[in-house]
Amino acid sequence: MEPTCTFLGKERLLASRVGIGTWAIGGGWGPQPEEQSRTALHEALDRGCLLIDTAPLYGNGRAERLVAQVLKEQRKQGTVCTKVYPLAYQWAPAPGTPIEQVFPPEHIITQAEESLRRLQVESLDCLLLQTWCPSWAQELSWYHTMLWLKQQGKIRSYGISVSDHRPDEANGVIEAGRVGLLEVPYSLLDQRAAEKLFPLAQRYSVSIIARSPLASGALAGNWHEGMRFHRQDWRRRVFRGDLLQQTLQRVEKIKTLAGSAAPLAQFALRFCLSHPAISAVIAGIRDTDQARCNLAVLEQTALPQDTLDRIARLWDKEFRFNVRTSIGKEGEGERRIA
């Protein structure tokens, strides 16, 4: 049996290897009743979830407030990661952009204070910058601000959530030894992070949380020809036409490898957790069925090596080319958060 828990970052924050994301619970993925969100969160916690990922922009604070309410009712320990969004929503800043233009110290501090208030805690478990730029490797203003927040007892840990389209952008800051925790996009449809970022993270003992493991829902197993997203769902503006068609075709090839013995979502999560560089994986939930499905992976093993080999061949021969068509044009999906 694989271990169900792990420790994240230099501070060794306790977390389950399968966590939950709260973007959809916050809003932007279509109608989402709050009672359904609360029930889903309770279900996940009851089934062993000790890792929750959230952010101020997930429903303009709605997700953080729901997390605070449910955790207060549950009285359980675990790790909650929240984020600092970039000024002017610059999700993929061009190299050379001054970091003070995107994450000035006063902005980081203000966002931390507001998340403390919404989450109803005295100290944030982990505060992540919600994007990064390769040219910031030697920048220190953000780093000193995070250290100050730690010294003040306002945060326990800090890290970076890298953008969807530049998985290696944090390599420089890893080598500089200034980060111990990263959230990185990684899935069956986008394995680029495993090529350069993961080996470096392992060398420097940096914890990796794999995010978007279900590729915006494409790997949940219920997408089909002719499907339509709700008008309030950000994916409606991204997954359409040739993009949707190619995504469906790639998912069908993955289904062939996965078989029908278990839900496709579980196969996708097990794939992520099979990589030795990954400490935990976070997938969004909207209801109790999704919570039960995802958290069941805690009791499952890594994928067999022969299956991983077949996945690797599929990635090398087909999926690694034109990866952006699996997640939209650069910055497009991310802008929907705002």
Three-state DSSP class for 208?
strand
* Residue at 185: amino acid letter: P
CB of 288 closer than 8 Å to CB of 39: yes
> Residue 47: which of 76, 80, 7, 81 has the closest Cα?
76
**Angle of helix 241-258 versus helix 264-273 axis, rounded to 10:** 80
User: Does 332 have pLDDT greater than 80?
Assistant: no
Architecture of domain 5-335: Alpha-Beta Barrel (3.20)
The pLDDT tens digits for 7-46 are: 999 999 999 999 999 999 999 999 999 999 999 999 999 9
Tokens of 240: 């359409």
Res. 324 pLDDT band, cuts 50 70 90: low
pTM of the model: 0.95
In angstroms and rounded to an integer, the radius of gyration of the C-alpha atoms of the chain is 19
CB of 58 closer than 8 Å to CB of 22: yes
State in Å, rounded, how far the first CA of the chain is from the last one. Answer: 41
Q: How many angstroms separate the CA atoms of 149 and 145, rounded?
A: 6
The pLDDT tens digits for 156-200 are: 999 999 988 888 999 999 999 999 999 999 999 999 999 999 999
Q: How many angstroms separate the CA atoms of 250 and 322, rounded?
A: 12
Q: How many angstroms separate the CA atoms of 181 and 279, rounded?
A: 10
> Residue 18: which of 322, 306, 268 has the closest Cα?
268
